[in-house]
Structure 1
Amino acid sequence: MFLVPLILAGLSMLGPFSIDTPFPAFPAMAEDFDVTSAEMQLVVSAYLIAFGLMSPFHGPLSDALGRKPVIIGGVLLYAAASIGCALSPSLEMLLVFRVLQGLSAGGGVIVSRTIIRDVFEGAQAQRLMSRVMLIFAIAPAIAPVIGGALLQLGAWPIAFWFMAVVALLLITVVAFALPETHPVERRIPLRFGALARSLATVARSASFHRVAWAAALSFAGQFIYISSASIIVVDLLGLGELDFWILFAPLVAAVMVGSQISSSAAGRISGNLLVTGSLIFCVAAALGNIGIAAVAGPTLPWVVLGPALLGLGTVTAYPTMQLILLDMFPAGRGSSVSLFTFFTLLLNGLIAGLLAPLVTGSVLELAVASTLLVTAGLGCWLWHLALARHAARTPAASLPPAERV
């Protein structure tokens, strides 16, 4: 079992690597395809929206078929889609294969999180989730650096060839080293009705929605910087394809600190208190970032401080929030993590494709947009806590069905 955390971390990296590795190649791709920087944002949003639309199905499928078959099948299709991206002669064709990447990547990313709760309990589960989330959060930071280095070896398709190779390596490791953690006796029938009922049970839970949107919106405050990395580094800062580390290195450091805080807090600080403190920290950091952006503008090192602090707060809270969602539905963990991923990725896809092009004219616009997102996340979380306290004082029979979970 000592290999399981490493394998799960590798699978969790697949999604972020798919988003960020091509960033340094965007200028070259835009030139080859004769499109604008704003149109290149579709490369991000096409992947994220497709991932989000498919994510409700990966978890329930793994509840019915087992974890390993869904992971291997999804990652194998992802490898084929990555090769298609590398060979695409136009932006339109590239977007088709990016959609296919998005539809298939969740087989590894989503199901790997479900395995954590299959195998581990309590504080141990939180510690492992924190470590996996560390890798998940670091991946989008190091991926553009790797992408920039790859461009020194070849043209822009090399980034997608790299993704294909990573996927094939993951398939090999999963096939030979990852145990099946969802035995046959626990599986639900592979029938549309059963899968739909499992998803519907989660979707009807108001508690689930409040926590899911709290997590998704708070992460979106950080993600708007990640999805806009090409514009920030190249257009606003006037740097080159090898300079993405300037934006992402502080974020990596902050994420490592946040992950360590979350891991150390397991079993010592209540999950609710940890999440509340972390999200309040995020809002305070976002408000401070507005002031910094207004005074300093797009100058270093100030432009990277806000995203780093947001990353610290988000990663401290995120593992606990995911475990809360998984524990709401012990018999349908796949459905829970799938719907949560659906909301998160759909939101991030809309941010990358619609919001980011509107607010990347200046670092101040970005800071204001980020603040609105994390404030909305904190609001959802405080709403959840208030209603949870009310439910604890109210007999279960008098609560609406959606509030009894």
Structure 2
Amino acid sequence: MPATSPWLAFVLAALAAIGPFSIDTYLPAFGAMGAELGATPLEIQQTLTAYMATFAFMVLWHGALADHFGRRHVLIAGSVLFALASLVCALAPSIEWLWVGRALQGMVGGAGMVVGRAVIRDLFDGAHAQRLMSRVMLIFGVAPAIAPIIGGLLLAAAGWRAIFFFLACFGAVLAVLTWRFLPETLLAEHRHPLHPVLLARAYRRVLGSGAFVLLSAAAAFNFNGFFLYVLSAPAFLMQHLGLGAQEFGWLFVPAVVGMSAGSALSERVAGRWHVRRTVVIGMTIMASAALANLLVATLLPPGLPWSVLPIVLYTFGMALSMPSMTLLALELFPSHRGLASSCQSFLQVGINSTIAGVFAPLLWHSPLTLAAGMAGFLTLGGIGFVAWCRRAGGCLR
């Protein structure tokens, strides 16, 4: 398949969508799973923590494996193993087995996201890379919108286990699509050995880079302002807004509309705006959204559409800035793109895992605490980006 094939963006986006599908599709089924398995709400929430913890650990290695074995082999193997792990979840006889299945899903669920970024940088530089990254995010953005809707429909039609059978089929289809449509983008002469000493030195260079850590952490905290609502969706939608298990689309569809619009604008301005300018404008939009969210949560009772509109604006700014922030970090290590992408994902998902296990349950008790959480995470992201700008000579240089 030629590198410019329209299938490329679709396959890369579908591979990255394993993460949102793994998280969002089963959110409407929390109550049903707890009832059948005799598990408490906290034990059900820990299925998400089990997934995120192993996800965060393994994304540190997917890139190194792809730098050694090639992109295609890692992506195909990851998709097949994800399908098998989903079957473990679907057949789980107890909450403990569901934890095991979710942990196995997490071990391979990040391969598509990590290796896909490396594929983009293998093929393109500069504005071309930003356009493809934005196009992938535009397609990828559909996943968080349709995943909970699919989950709700499957739950109503066939029970919660059908959701994991669906994820097994999704992984199998991705393996076939990758085998059929994704080219190998890493030539044999550019691959790196898996020697532990050499790997340790490479990881130390990447994770020891202050510029890389600041950019990666800034992107992670910015994303967490929205991810907080993803993890808190059952409480936000069902408890605070009074919606049902089949109505998660009231949050995810508008949020993804904002995300898709931001990604489309990012693609459009690639090569016309400097990447730093794109990030600054995106974060300014997010700051406006976070302020509006605090005002709505303080002055108005929870309801539609006002409780959701600031989240839409936030995802618009997030999607506008995210491709540029991702590429700025990866450009620091052009000879180890896979490993650098792994480290970037590790930092981001590590923070996400903390939210899943600690902050989301503390903040989902009211719309105001959720809004404060969004503003707090964006503030941390802004501090990280400004600190990077000072090291790099200015945000708009």
TM-score bracket, normalised by the shorter chain, equals over 0.9
- Indicate the residue corresponding to 1:143 in structure 2: 147
Matched, 1:163 2:172: no
- In structure 2, what residue type is equivalent to 1:242? Q
- Indicate the residue corresponding to 2:101 in structure 1: 97
- Structure 1 length-normalised TM: 0.94
1:41 counterpart (23, 42, 45): 45
- In structure 2, what residue type is equivalent to 1:197? R
2:127 and 2:247 map into 1 onto residues whose CA distance is: 39
- Indicate the residue corresponding to 2:193 in structure 1: 189
| Cα displacement (A) at 1:239 | 1.6
1:241 counterpart (239, 245, 255): 245
| Cα displacement (A) at 1:308 | 1.2
2:10 counterpart (6, 12, 15): 6
Per-residue CA deviations over 1:18-46 (Å, capped at 9, x if unaligned) read 01000111110111122333432222221
- Indicate the residue corresponding to 1:27 in structure 2: 31
Per-residue CA deviations over 1:279-335 (Å, capped at 9, x if unaligned) read 122122111111101111321111111221111111110011111111110001111
2:138 and 2:226 map into 1 onto residues whose CA distance is: 14
2:19 and 2:333 map into 1 onto residues whose CA distance is: 24
Per-residue CA deviations over 1:341-386 (Å, capped at 9, x if unaligned) read 1111111111122111111111001000110001110111011111
Deviates more, 1:158-167 or 1:231-240: 231-240
- Indicate the residue corresponding to 2:297 in structure 1: 293
Deviates more, 1:175-184 or 1:81-90: 175-184
| Cα displacement (A) at 1:176 | 2.2
Could you say what the CA RMSD is over the residues aligned between the two structures, in angstroms? 1.6
- In structure 2, what residue type is equivalent to 1:382? V
| Equivalent residues in 2 for 1:371-382, closer than 5 Å | 371-382=375-386
1:213 and 1:327 map into 2 onto residues whose CA distance is: 16
- In structure 1, what residue type is equivalent to 2:267? S
1:194 and 1:120 map into 2 onto residues whose CA distance is: 27
- In structure 2, what residue type is equivalent to 1:152? A
- In structure 1, what residue type is equivalent to 2:147? A
Per-residue CA deviations over 1:69-88 (Å, capped at 9, x if unaligned) read 11111111111100000011
1:152 and 1:41 map into 2 onto residues whose CA distance is: 21
- Indicate the residue corresponding to 1:282 in structure 2: 286
Matched, 1:85 2:109: no
| Equivalent residues in 2 for 1:5-404, closer than 5 Å | 5-389=9-393
1:56 and 1:386 map into 2 onto residues whose CA distance is: 28
Q: Where does the alignment leave 5 or more consecutive residues of structure 1 unmatched? A: 394-405
2:325 and 2:285 map into 1 onto residues whose CA distance is: 16
- In structure 1, what residue type is equivalent to 2:205? T
SS for the counterpart of 2:215 is: helix
Q: Where does the alignment leave 5 or more consecutive residues of structure 2 unmatched? A: none
User: Is the contact between residue 297 and residue 363 of structure 1 (CA under 8 Å) also seen in structure 2?
Assistant: no
- In structure 2, what residue type is equivalent to 1:5? A
1:221 and 1:162 map into 2 onto residues whose CA distance is: 29
1:367 and 1:17 map into 2 onto residues whose CA distance is: 25
1:274 and 1:361 map into 2 onto residues whose CA distance is: 34
SS for the counterpart of 1:41 is: helix
1:297 and 1:359 map into 2 onto residues whose CA distance is: 17
Per-residue CA deviations over 1:156-201 (Å, capped at 9, x if unaligned) read 0111111110110111111122111001000011222222222221
1:81 and 1:337 map into 2 onto residues whose CA distance is: 24
1:135 and 1:45 map into 2 onto residues whose CA distance is: 26
Give aligned-pair identity as a percent: 41
| Cα displacement (A) at 1:153 | 2.3
1:165 and 1:109 map into 2 onto residues whose CA distance is: 19
Deviates more, 1:138-147 or 1:333-342: 138-147
SS for the counterpart of 1:302 is: coil
User: Is the contact between residue 68 and residue 192 of structure 2 (CA under 8 Å) also seen in structure 1?
Assistant: yes
- Cα 1:48/1:136, change in 2 over 3 Å: farther
- In structure 1, what residue type is equivalent to 2:351? L
| Cα displacement (A) at 1:226 | 0.9
